[in-house]
Amino acid sequence: MFTSGRSFDFCHVPLRIWEGLCAAPSKGRYYNQFIRDKFNCR
């Protein structure tokens, strides 16, 4: 869930990407670089 209150579903996100997000100093920057538009559930 984002600070705006919106949430999105992502599918098949590799564990290393999830762990990277959890450890990232800037969650937004990490999300935009490694997750956004890459793991859509379609």
| Interval 1-14: pLDDT, tens | 777 888 888 999 99
User: What is the amino acid identity at position 7?
Assistant: S
pTM for the structure as a whole: 0.77
Please return the burial class of 20, using the count of CB atoms within 10 Å of its CB with bins 0-12, 13-18 and 19+: middle
| Interval 21-37: pLDDT, tens | 999 999 999 999 999 99
Angle at 17 between CA 2 and CA 38, to 5 degrees: 70
Do residues 35 and 10 make contact, with C-beta atoms less than 8 angstroms apart? yes
